[in-house]
Amino acid sequence: MLLQPDSLDFARWVKPGDTVVCGQGTAEPCSLTRRLVAQADALGPLRLFLGPVFSDSFPAEASAKLTFTGYCGIGRAAQLSRAGRLDILTSHYSQLAPQFASGRLPADVVLLQLAPPRHGRRHSLGLACDYTLAAARRARVVIAEVNGDVPWTHGGEIPADLRIDAFVAADQPPLELPSATIGETERQIAAHVSRFIPDGATLQLGIGSIPDAIMASLQDRRDLGLHSGMAGDSVCALIETGVITNARKAIDPGVSITGVLFGGRRLYDYADDNPAIRLAPSDYTHAPAVIGRLRDFMAINSAIEVDLTGQVNAEVVDGTYLGAVGGQLDFTRAANAVSGGRAIIALPATARGGSISRIVAQLGAGVVTTPRSDADLVVTECGVAELRGCTLAERARRMIAIAAPDWRDRLQQAAMPLLRAG
């Protein structure tokens, strides 16, 4: 029986001191999360575990009875981070599910978003096959929002042995992400990146203006594949035009693999009951043993800043946590290990109208998401720095060459100790 959201009293399910794990991103069960936050004062202290937040469910001024933990500051989670209310778990994305499964990460209550059963099959996770399933297996209480507008996705079918304590009818459609705005900088970056992507390559990339621009630049490729932690609307365009076919993949031929769907109606409609796209957990999407069976695996990720030796900070800006460890290092190391693989970090050369260089002498936050020993290609609108096999001095020269022209002299001066050795 489906409960109505207005009748849901969390006091029946939640105890003071509980950790509540919420579906992330577009998979957030907003009918549940908004009511939980609204009832927080009456429930006692609770800790909420969040991923990327694309809703307004968790305002920075939310009840003081709520404490927020998360693995990233992406989307509106940044508001919590700036307000000092987000306690960051610095974990590789691939390790979240195992940590929930082992109990190292607590999960007392889990809130899921599900698609309704279809043609005699069980409910589907719909938009995210991620760590919430592992958390749900350990939780004392699992509550699921059932949303008829969520696509029923292959790979996301709920296991028969998963206990769900209550099903609640959704009172709103699932979250959708607007298409990113692509400017000239993104197009220039994409043009540089596309030179390294051959026909038949398998792609891993995120969402946003740079990934979308890269996807748009690949219209002349053939038989590309997708094996990624996430997929957005730009995937649909390449599938519909026959660019992404997955025909040359040694594993999952003909099938696009992703962990989460972060997009809009176009993507949801394409994925709905479509066996050509399959959701998979992180122990498959991010696993070196799995990716190692793919040739020409292209890991395309971004950064907040990169230093002259190739160290990447993808987490912190001005002392505030706005990014993530995520799967960057998982995919970077996998790409470096496979035949024909490339690990690409793509970012604009500057920020804030050119007043800040994102190619830096030293990482300002002192945070290294990907170490220089794993660096391969760094791309800005100014060019490409190929770092694999280069000494520190040569790396510095190549990184300065892809910095914005106005910043090169300053970087040259800062790099003198490195350059003297080369």
For every residue of 309-357, DSSP letters joined together read: T--EE-SEETTEE-SB-TTHHHHHHHHHHSTT-EEEEE--SEETTTTEE
Statement to judge: residues 90 and 190 lie in one domain: no
pLDDT, residue 7, reads: 86
- Phi, psi angle pair for 223, to nearest 5°: 55, 40
pLDDT, residue 1, reads: 74
317: tokens are 């800006």
Judge whether 174 lies within some domain: no
Cα 382 to Cα 393: distance, rounded to the nearest angstrom: 20
Judge whether 342 lies within some domain: yes
Judge whether 212 lies within some domain: yes
CA distances, 308 to each of 266, 299, 363, 369 (Å): 40, 21, 9, 15
Last residue of a domain, one of 139, 169, 199: 169
Statement to judge: residues 158 and 190 lie in one domain: no
Statement to judge: residues 139 and 226 lie in one domain: no
Domain limits for position 286: 184-421
pLDDT, residue 6, reads: 85
Closest to 189 in 3D by CA, of 307, 329, 313, 301: 301
Statement to judge: residues 162 and 192 lie in one domain: no
Last residue of a domain, one of 115, 139, 169: 169
Cα 302 to Cα 333: distance, rounded to the nearest angstrom: 15
Statement to judge: residues 203 and 328 lie in one domain: yes
Contact 371/393 with Cβ under 8 angstroms? no
310-359 confidence digits (pLDDT tens): 999 999 999 999 999 999 999 999 999 999 999 999 999 999 999 999 99
Cα 39 to Cα 49: distance, rounded to the nearest angstrom: 17
Residue 217 has pLDDT above 80, yes or no: yes
Number of domains observed in the structure of the chain:
2
Neighbours of 289 (CB within 10 A): 9
Cα 117 to Cα 164: distance, rounded to the nearest angstrom: 14
What's the length of the chain?
A: 422
Using pLDDT thresholds of 50, 70 and 90, give the confidence band for residue 421: confident
To the nearest whole percent, how much of the chain has pLDDT over 90?
95
Closest to 72 in 3D by CA, of 260, 255, 211, 258: 260
Cα 309 to Cα 351: distance, rounded to the nearest angstrom: 20
Q: What is the CATH number of the domain that holds 311?
A: 3.40.1080.20
Statement to judge: residues 239 and 164 lie in one domain: no
Judge whether 145 lies within some domain: yes
Statement to judge: residues 294 and 399 lie in one domain: yes
Using pLDDT thresholds of 50, 70 and 90, give the confidence band for residue 420: confident
Statement to judge: residues 190 and 165 lie in one domain: no
- Scan for tokens 């195992």, then name that residue: 98
pLDDT, residue 5, reads: 82
Cα 141 to Cα 162: distance, rounded to the nearest angstrom: 11
Cα 58 to Cα 50: distance, rounded to the nearest angstrom: 10
Average pLDDT value for residue range 383-405: 97
**315-331: b (≥16 Cβ within 10 Å) or e:** bbbeebbbbbbbbbbbb
372: tokens are 């220089």
Q: Which residues contact 66 (CB under 8 A, 6 or more apart)?
A: 37, 40, 45, 46, 47, 48, 58
Neighbours of 269 (CB within 10 A): 11
Q: Is the Cα dihedral 129, 217, 180, 320 positive or negative?
A: positive
pLDDT, residue 278, reads: 98
DSSP 46: E
Classify strands 46-50 and 305-307 as parallel, antiparallel or unpaired: unpaired
58-105 confidence digits (pLDDT tens): 999 999 999 999 999 999 999 999 999 999 999 999 999 999 999 999
To the nearest whole percent, how much of the chain has pLDDT over 70?
100
Statement to judge: residues 164 and 192 lie in one domain: no
pLDDT, residue 422, reads: 65
244-264 confidence digits (pLDDT tens): 999 999 999 999 999 999 999
pLDDT, residue 179, reads: 87
Cα 115 to Cα 29: distance, rounded to the nearest angstrom: 11
Last residue of a domain, one of 113, 138, 169: 169
DSSP 49: E
Cα 180 to Cα 175: distance, rounded to the nearest angstrom: 15
Judge whether 175 lies within some domain: no
Statement to judge: residues 363 and 407 lie in one domain: yes
pTM of the model: 0.96
Residue type, 91: S
Give, in degrees to the nearest 5, the angle at Cα 174 between 173 and 176.
115
Judge whether 176 lies within some domain: no
Give, in degrees to the nearest 5, the angle at Cα 158 between 24 and 8.
60
Q: Which residues are registered as beta bridge partners of 378?
A: 345, 385
Mean pLDDT of the chain: 96
Judge whether 179 lies within some domain: no
Closest to 99 in 3D by CA, of 128, 131, 75: 131
Statement to judge: residues 153 and 291 lie in one domain: no
Judge whether 177 lies within some domain: no
- Scan for tokens 């096999």, then name that residue: 389
Q: Is the Cα dihedral 115, 117, 119, 121 positive or negative?
A: positive
Contact 51/88 with Cβ under 8 angstroms? no
Q: Which residues contact 220 (CB under 8 A, 6 or more apart)?
A: none
316: tokens are 């912190």
Residue 130 has pLDDT above 70, yes or no: yes
Statement to judge: residues 165 and 192 lie in one domain: no
Q: What is the CATH number of the domain that holds 150?
A: 3.40.1080.10
166-192 confidence digits (pLDDT tens): 999 999 999 999 989 999 999 999 999
